[in-house]
Structure 1
């Protein structure tokens, strides 16, 4: 059996995927999470990869922030934490390393030589 390159390429065409089409057809929460992370950290525009998310992701991140309920009292603005809100979930995830460092139930204590700050 002889391999015919031209016939193979013609058959292969039907399985061709347009990369741009694939990116726009897939919708993931991670892209909205990227936008929220940049907002939460107050990243400089020069450090942000704007190709990593779309304008729709920015709009959804804006909706996530707008859906976070808040109340105004004499002390100022306070946010009510909704555990299902993506911004609250991001804050909880980002706080895990800090909680691990300050945990009382550590298996290994930090030595003076381990501290670099």
Structure 2
């Protein structure tokens, strides 16, 4: 049996799939950021939900957080891409939605619903 290399290459090209973008899993790092930001007590932390690498990645992210020192102590400046500040914004939105009064929409008489 002869193996036709040219034919094999042509068929290979036909069935070539697009390169798969590797998605970096950040769930563990997010867990670490959550526990650090919320000052979670150690007995409430599931240490199996993240790895040592996740902790190191979160520490790098924390080191990237810009600080400004003033007379009153240190303050955070806003860096919208920092994962700690992203977590804070998302947590604030969830907190606000949970604690908003009058969550139920009531149609007023002068409202027109189409």
The TM tier, using the shorter chain, reads 0.5 to 0.7
Q: Does 1:51 align with 2:73?
A: no
Structure 1 residues 61 and 106 mapped into 2: Cα distance closer, same or farther (>3 Å)?
same
Unaligned runs of 5+ in 1: 1-25, 110-117
Query: Residue 76 of structure 1: CA displacement?
Result: 1.3
Q: Does 1:37 align with 2:40?
A: no
CA–CA separation in structure 2 for the residues paired with 1:38 and 1:59: 14
Equivalent residues in 2 for 1:1-117, closer than 5 Å: 27-100=24-97, 101-102=99-100, 108=105
CA–CA separation in structure 2 for the residues paired with 1:85 and 1:107: 34
Flag as ranges the 4+ runs of structure 1 deviating above 2 A: 97-103, 105-109
CA RMSD across the alignment: 2.3
SS class of match (2:57): helix
The structure whose residues are more often helix, as a share, is: 1
CA–CA separation in structure 2 for the residues paired with 1:72 and 1:102: 34
Query: Residue 106 of structure 1: CA displacement?
Result: 5.7
SS class of match (2:75): strand
CA–CA separation in structure 1 for the residues paired with 2:87 and 2:79: 12
Query: Residue 89 of structure 1: CA displacement?
Result: 0.5
* Alignment TM-score, normalising by the size of structure 2: 0.63
Larger Rg: 2
- The size of the alignment, in residue pairs, is 83
Partner deviation per Cα, 1:17-52 (whole Å, 9 max, x = no partner): xxxxxxxxx851111000000111111111111111
Query: Residue 71 of structure 1: CA displacement?
Result: 1.0
